[in-house]
A and B are shown apart, each in its own frame.
Chain A
């Protein structure tokens, strides 16, 4: 595995108790994992812990960089021991929404992804520009390079932020509800993009989402979080059932294999009181 979460508990402050309790999970190299659960279950907190933005009070999170140990074997290192700049060369994050205080151009936003690869006073060179344009092309936003970020639509912004994360050339991409504010067409487009990045570039992807059908369509593995604890985790076919959805959301849902789409689909029937 590449990212190992062991018995992690985390609370934002003493009065509110733990937001996450005894969470353990393993993210395999090259996997595409979905993180599901109701609002406030700790998905965003878990992503921030896995990105090293927050530090767990209990438990450990280790990153195994490929070929970092003897004979090319991967060796796990605690996130807390890895310098920020180095960590950012392995793990990139796409937050739910990105609102810069100033009106950067798209190419400038994407080039900021090169920050962990540049020295403190170094300016980006032609190599960095090529990587940024490659990232724009991969997300279908090459034509937006000279546009102002703030003038873009929600879907375009999200793809530009993904491009910026790709410019970090990470092994692992963590996304927090990347399709939350997007219409149906953009939801499908972002889903297809994540699947393609995972398949063609071998990027390990962890995506937190409320969209069960999106998760079913691209994720091979799911982790279900409820009230800060792992309810279930495993292969999508095994974990995504009517029973788990009832336990997770108190919702009665039909889960069936859909022939035309080629994956499980979830049809919510009603709320269970």
Chain B
């Protein structure tokens, strides 16, 4: 023992830089990546545009095709990609810790199925009641997402006690299957044009159609991210075990509820804006963990920034790979994300 006692004098951190430095480097590094991707993405597309011409104020906006493509078509799309990517990636991180299951995704608890049912019902019902210029479909999908979240929450919480993660997982999987059947039922009775719109919605697409839809879900995301910010060190302990977290000073039931509500808000907002875009919520957190380690105080902000960069980059591929045809970004995230993830797993072992 006397030999090991002297190891107090070994370099502090033992292979890890101090957390403050790591956090600063992470935010700067991933922030720079997200910024560069978001600045470059609007310049690239099926039609090549000139930056100087797009930003040239001497040409009237109505005559400036480059500026119209830049500001009306591509910039909203890039912003939608960044917000949705950040929301899905952080929701994945938080749910994986909450459920103590690295394979959980933001859609594991049925939020996306609820949103999808709301959307297809709105499309099939020919709903026309919107709010101002906004289509009724997002309102219906948001209502569906909230309804399913409320059901899962009610099933999973017990007064004064920790949430049952088993109940949450099983209820989520069951509701996903049940709602998929209802979605198929609605599709079965829908006509050809409606079915086409439903399928396109279910593929996931970042063509939000302007800045307004993004601004409309922004309040939900602001609340969700404010709640996320309170969570990281408690998530570290929760992922070790609920009892351990409790004896290390974490108020487990409260932390779990904040985590659940925040992921429900962020995921609902993301799916409402862009449909159910798969793989972001599982690929991004795992890629980030492979690069930064598993401490949630690092992983959570890194995933938000990397998720934004990842989805914007995927959408860039979706817009250009078969130009002038634009693919739904959900197909690209799956095609890129799946094999890349497998490659990283193999490389690590």
Contacts and interface: CB of A to CB of B under 8 A. Distances in A.
A and B: partners?
Answer: yes
Interface stretch (A2-10, A136-144, A204-212, A232-240): A136-144
Contacts of A107: 13-16
Given A48-B243, A101-B102, A102-B239, A146 B14 contact: yes
A105 interface: yes
A157 to B, nearest CB: 12
A101 B239 contact: yes
B293 interface: yes
B235 to A, nearest CB: 10
A108 interface: yes
Interface stretch (B4-12, B40-48, B141-149): B4-12
B293 to A, nearest CB: 7
Interface string A91-129: 111010011111111111100110110101101111001
Nearest to A129: B12
B190 interface: no
Contact of B247 (A53, A100, A125, A133): A53
A133 B7 contact: yes
A123 B19 contact: yes
A145 interface: yes
B230 interface: yes
A249 B329 CA distance: 65
Interface string B235-270: 011011101101111110000000000000000000
Interface stretch (B69-77, B93-101, B300-308, B320-328): B93-101
A66 interface: no
Interface residues of B, number: 40
A191 interface: no
B262 to A, nearest CB: 15
B8 A104 contact: no
Interface string B139-171: 000000000000000000000000000000000
Given A101-B101, A130-B8, A137-B8, A146 B15 contact: yes
A84 interface: yes
Contacts of A220: none
Contact of B249 (A85, A104, A142): A85
Interface residues of A, number: 50
A125 B18 CA distance: 8
B3 to A, nearest CB: 9
Contacts of B19: 123-124
A93 B250 CA distance: 13
A114 B259 CA distance: 22
B89 to A, nearest CB: 16
Interface of B: 1, 4-5, 7-8, 10, 12-16, 18-20, 23, 96-97, 100-102, 230, 233, 236-237, 239-241, 243-244, 246-251, 289, 293-295, 297
20 contacts: A51-B246, A98-B240, A101-B96, A101-B97, A102-B239, A104-B295, A108-B294, A108-B295, A115-B233, A116-B248, A120-B230, A124-B19, A130-B12, A133-B8, A133-B10, A133-B14, A141-B4, A142-B7, A142-B8, A143-B4
Q: Which 9 A-B pairs have the closest CB atoms?
A: A146-B15, A116-B249, A145-B14, A88-B249, A142-B7, A102-B294, A85-B249, A93-B247, A101-B100
